[in-house]
Structure 1
Amino acid sequence: MKGQLRKVGILGTGFVGSSTAYSLINQGICDELLLVDIKEEKSIGESLDLTHCMDFLPSKTKIWTGTASDMGHMEIIIITAGPPPKENQTRLDTLETSANIMNDTIPKIMASGFNGIFLIATNPVDIITYHVWKLSGLPRHQVIGTGTSIDSSRLKTYLSDILHVDVHSIQGYTMGEHGDSQFAVWSHLTIGGKPFLQILAENPEKYADIDLEQIIEAVKRVGFEILKRKGTTYYGIGNALAYFTKSIFNNGHRIIPTSCILDGEYAESNICTGVPAVISRSGIKEIIELKLSAEEQELFKTSNSVLRSYMASIGY
């Protein structure tokens, strides 16, 4: 990406797309923001509402609306279009509808000359990221899914509350599917640089009530707890998308758990799944291969098997 202006397009202006737009302009991350939605009036309304924030912000963002065919000159296209899971569904149950949206829009975007970075949040995000990669024909480093970024943030937030340590002092990830088969990489989770499992072993009485399985189950289910109460989640993922976008534009080289298309990493290929990766101006700069424990390796394989079983339903 060589443009002087930081141009971002958002495909889908529902709760996630509009929350992402709000995060982007409040943080002054982009110079130009194009909003696209199948409901044109919705995108126009969001554009007007967001434009009226400018007097209260430290920097100005040009906001306008258009179609998928107008997105060719964007540097980053954020994809949020797709349905949230209904009650008693998982994210995987939204695959057919989300895939059909991509079938319709990605060819139009590519025909407009787009050669930037796709940043995808549409669920099931791992499979949709793979599908966008296949439809677009772009190199894999230019197609990024939000993966387990929000789940890893939730994990660190829970641990912050339990341990009474600032969340920024906790380093760790969940990996695999952004969904029910994800797992926490406890073997690499640190608190202020000290291995978390070592802290537990050295303080058995102090942390006797900590249940690792209970924590990861809470991480997996909290999205649905939010869904039951307010219909869907959007602030957390909206901020995560802004975080990715900022890291790309700033060439930040941040390591973020991301939906990555694997080609031999972790002995996996022809799949997109959540792993830590270095995010730079070119997209995915490097996939970080952690040395997983034997149990974690099995959990990773199981999670990827779940993803593959659903990928088959759309022809992969």
Structure 2
Amino acid sequence: MAKKTRKVAIVGVGLVGSSCAYSLVNQSICDEILLVDRTPERAYAQALDLSHCMDFTFTRTKIFTGEPEHCGDADIVVLSAGANPIPGGTRLDLLESSFAIYRELVPRIMAGGFDGIFVAAANPVDVVTYMVWRLSGLPRNRVIGSGTSIDSSRLKTLLCEYLPVDPRSVSGYVLGEHGESQFPAWSHVTVGGKPILDILAQHPARFAGLKLDEIEAKTRDAGWEILQRKGSTHYGIANAIAHIVRSILNDDHKITAVSAILQGEYGETDVCAGVPAILSRSGITELVELNLTQNEQERFHRSCSVIRHAASALVFGGGDARP
């Protein structure tokens, strides 16, 4: 019986891209990985290094290198090429450099016959996801950004410094921009199905040290804290990308907070922001519209305004491939 090969291409194999490849290999998520980088020697070295893992993993993953045009038969292309934010700035400061990169790369990938799913991970990821959608001409369900997946994970991890549970027992999402205007939807954060707001109201003394404003700030600033200490963040986001890729390839229908193109959801149109989405073999099967409080809805609109304003500076011209 013929088996369909599950192939993932990673464009940009610096710390994030190579860590993502490492996660894919160790979790046996796909059969083949194509590494593409502007420095071919680095891509080759990463492929060679990763190939030496095979004796210690559960399955064999073939790893090789190539050019953007060789992504044509990939199921998923992960876009991780780009610079790190500069301490004291914001992720939006990387907009011009990222646009220059993807204005060239996306047409080359599409010219190779690519008809799969893009997973964008480069910053500013919400705007990068939007530009990839515009440049590729693919339907919005097949252009996904890592978005607030990592922020939602950070939120759960921080909460469990105060709660006696595993982070995987906490459900909740950070919404909006993967950046300064993000916010947790506290009205939908639950622990074992119980709303966090009810827990704090019922046990004020026991959880007196748990301040939601402080948790929100720490969640928002977690990436900067890492960046200032070691120069980059890559392990957490790499596993977030691997989770998204696995959910797609396995047709899991898992709900994950990702950057998605909104066309009416949450009252927003023609903008890309972090929202919970059902991920399957077709990409985004459905966006989950949470019943936000008035304050949360206003914060979401403000965050989308930040993203939309940044995206308005992009000039696509003839490179806009949308139908």
TM-score range relative to shorter protein: over 0.9
Q: CA RMSD in A?
A: 1.1
Q: Deviations over 1:86-130 (max 9, x none)?
A: 121111100110111000100000011000000110110000000
- Aligned residue for 2:158? 158
- Check if 1:69 corresponds to 2:69: yes
**Residue 47 (str. 1) matches residue 55 (str. 2):** no
Q: Return the alpha-carbon distance in structure 2 between the equivalents of residues 223 and 208 of structure 1.
A: 26
Aligned with 2:258: secondary structure? strand
Answer whether contact 2:24 2:242 (CA < 8 A) is retained.
yes
The one-letter amino acid paired with 1:315 is V
**SS of match in other structure, 2:312:** helix
Indicate conservation of the 8 Å contact 2:98/2:128, yes or no: yes
Q: 203-212 or 124-133, which moves further after superposition?
A: 203-212
Matches within 5 A, 1:118-133: 118-133=118-133
Secondary structure of the equivalent of 2:160? helix
Give the Cα–Cα distance (whole angstroms) in 1 for the partners of residues 247 and 41 of structure 2: 31
Aligned-residue identity in percent:
53
* Residue 211 of structure 1: aligned partner: 211
Which residue of the partner structure matches residue 57 of structure 2?
Answer: 57
Q: Deviations over 1:116-169 (max 9, x none)?
A: 000110110000000000000000000000110000000000111111211111
Match of 1:287 in 2: 287
Map 1:288-307 → 2, pairs under 5 A: 288-307=288-307
CA distance in 2: counterparts of 1:147 and 1:164, whole angstroms:
28
Give, in whole Å, the separation in 2 of the partners of 1:220 and 1:180: 7
- Normalising by structure 2, report the TM-score: 0.96
Question: 3-state SS of the aligned residue for 1:162?
Answer: coil
Corresponding residue SS for 2:34: strand
Is 1:254 the counterpart of 2:285? The answer is no
1:141 aligns with 2:136: no
The match for 1:112 is 112
1:193 corresponding residue in structure 2 = 193
3-state secondary structure, aligned to 2:177: coil
Q: TM-score, normalised by structure 1?
A: 0.98
Distance in 1 between residues matched to 2:85 and 2:147, nearest whole Å: 16
Query: Aligned AA for 1:169?
Result: S
Q: Quote the residue 2:312 is aligned against.
A: 312
- Paired positions, count: 315
Structure 2: distance between partners of 1:308 and 1:171: 28
Aligned residue identity for 1:112 = G
Tell me if the contact between 1:150 and 1:240 (Cα under 8 Å) persists in the aligned partners: yes
Partner of 1:231: 231
Amino acid at match of 2:227: L
**Within 5 Å, which residues of 2 pair with 1:168-183?**
168-183=168-183
Alignment-mate amino acid for residue 157 of structure 2? T
Aligned residue runs from structure 1 range 261-280, under 5 A: 261-280=261-280
Q: Give the Cα separation in 1 of the matches to 2:189 and 2:225.
A: 25
User: Contact 1:3–1:75 at 8 Å: present in 2 too?
Assistant: no
2:321 matched to which residue of 1? none
Shift of 1:209: 2.5
Residues 30-49 of structure 1 deviation map (CA, whole Å, 9 limit, x = unaligned): 10100000011110100000
Q: Amino acid of the residue matched to residue 42 of structure 2? A: K
**Separation in 2 of the partners of 1:313 and 1:217?**
28
Structure 2: runs of 5+ lacking an equivalent: 317-323
Report how far residue 3 of structure 1 moved.
Answer: 7.8
C-alpha change, 1:3 and 1:302, in structure 2 (3 Å) is farther
Q: Once superposed, which parts of structure 1, at least 4 consecutive aligned residues long, lie more than 3 Å away? A: none
> Which deviations, in whole Å up to 9, do the C-alpha atoms of 1:225-249 show, x marking residues without a partner?
1001111100000011111111111
